Amino acid sequence: MAIDRDRLLNHDIPEVHQSYGPREVARYALSIGMGQDPTDMAVLPYVGGLGDDSRAMPAIACVLGHPGFWLSDPSTGVDALRVVHGEQGMTIHAPIPPEGTIRAKTRVTEVIDKGEGRGALLYSEKEVRDAATGTLLATCRGTTFLRGDGGFGGPSGPVRPPHVLPETPPDHAFVTPTRPEQALAYRWNGDDNPLHLDPRVAAKAGFERPILHGLCTFGCAAHALLAVLCNHDAARFGAMDGRFTAHVFPGETLRTEIWRDGSFRTVVVERDAVAIGNGRFETRTTR
């Protein structure tokens, strides 16, 4: 059955209210590989090592107020078994507090028809606000590739153009070793997709073992940008966008290559595969 673009655009994804504190903040940072050097004083506030100085890693915005796998709702008409996370982005409007209560609302912003047999693109946006004040903390952007839902008669554009990386060699490289059990830890941020946890499900999907969550890889890249371009100052972390281009197996090594203009890509060292491509980062101006 063909999907209904208007129905998707008007699908009411329930608002999520979530309270969190230092424990959730530290768990997220640890799950994206921060704290592997327990003597790094710049990182310790993000992983709970300094109780009097707790800080939230900015990319936690991607998991706060997560709406769950709402595309599995039969009323959407989407072939949920053929859904792939294609792109992710976020803009941090104000530093994420280390504890508090947020409310988050996710909505579909557009559905693009790539044609029969070519799938469709679903663009979505999540706004994360302080529940008490209504202050907008972050806007998270996602592109979902609906591999089984092309040819429904919708518009063929406009499609978001990918950021073009410089032709010069990168100016910095930040290496993140992932751990064999990292997906098992990351799932506690709210994503328990069995593709990342169960070897039997991974095998059915064509993988030799469970793969790392795309948003975990995205978080690893965010840490690299926080370290290299922001000197671990979360107040300077602005906007980040990237395109998922290859899977990562837990235990592999990630190398995030960064240019001075904020362009970046994340490479799986062992296979020389680009896991996140066409990356773009902007710092925030602080006063």
**Is-catalytic flag, 53?**
no
Closest CA to 265 of 142, 125, 166, 124: 166
**Beta strands in 51-187, from DSSP E residues, in sequence order:** 83-92, 100-113, 120-130, 136-146, 172-177
What span, in angstroms and rounded, lies between the C-alpha atoms of 18 and 105? 12
Write the single-letter amino acid at 85.
Answer: H
Place of tokens 């290859």: 246
- Structure tokens that stand for 212 in this block: 């790392």
Task: Name 250's Cβ contacts closer than 8 Å, sequence gap at least 6.
Answer: 178, 179, 180, 181, 182, 183, 210, 211, 212
Q: Is residue 171 flagged as an active site residue?
A: no
Pick the catalytic residue: 113, 149, 191, 241?
Answer: 191
Q: Which of 196, 223, 232, 247 is catalytic?
A: 196
Positions marked active-site? 191, 196
